[in-house]
Amino acid sequence: MFNPIEIPFGCVMLFNEVNLKDGISVEDVELTLGEMCNVVKNNYGDDNGGFIAGQVYENSGFISGEGSFENVEKAKEERGEIVIVTFWKTFEQHEKSHADELFKSKFDELLEFCDDANELGYKMLWQGTPEGH
């Protein structure tokens, strides 16, 4: 569950920013989120499913003033409480898995706690590690 992940070059990354409803905390959705992630991990990870790996992050409130071009204070107000990052062999495999009723039922449970969720796809252009590692 907490093992290091390896991301193969050429995969796609989906970045899902989740905004919780007022009065809902990350702790309120942890079980639902965990169940949803397990459905993905356990059901879509073969060659046909295309799931490679994923990570979930809680917004910690810090934004780099050195790496940001926008108004940092405004950016803090507009960011979601949770980010779900998943890696897939293809975007089409991601879409097929998320259209499946098994996944949709768990995602719908999460959405009951949310104002909105936006999932953006990205194609990998570069990856690397420090020399000597």
Residue-wise pLDDT for 17-49, tens only, equals 999 999 999 999 999 999 999 999 999 998 889
Output the CA–CA distances (angstroms, integers) from residue 35 to 19, 46, 104, 110, in the order listed: 18, 19, 12, 10
Report the alpha-carbon distance of residue 124 to residue 121 in Å, rounded: 10
- Do 121 and 92 form a contact (C-beta atoms < 8 A)? no
Domain regions of the chain by residue span:
12-123
| Direct distance between the N- and C-terminal alpha carbons of the chain, in angstroms, rounded to an integer | 24
Q: What is this structure's pTM? A: 0.88
Express each pLDDT in 68-120 by its tens digit.
666 666 655 666 789 999 999 999 999 999 999 999 999 999 999 999 899 99
- Do 116 and 11 form a contact (C-beta atoms < 8 A)? no
Report the alpha-carbon distance of residue 34 to residue 2 in Å, rounded: 13
The fold for domain 12-123 equals Alpha-Beta Plaits (3.30.70)
Report the alpha-carbon distance of residue 90 to residue 125 in Å, rounded: 14
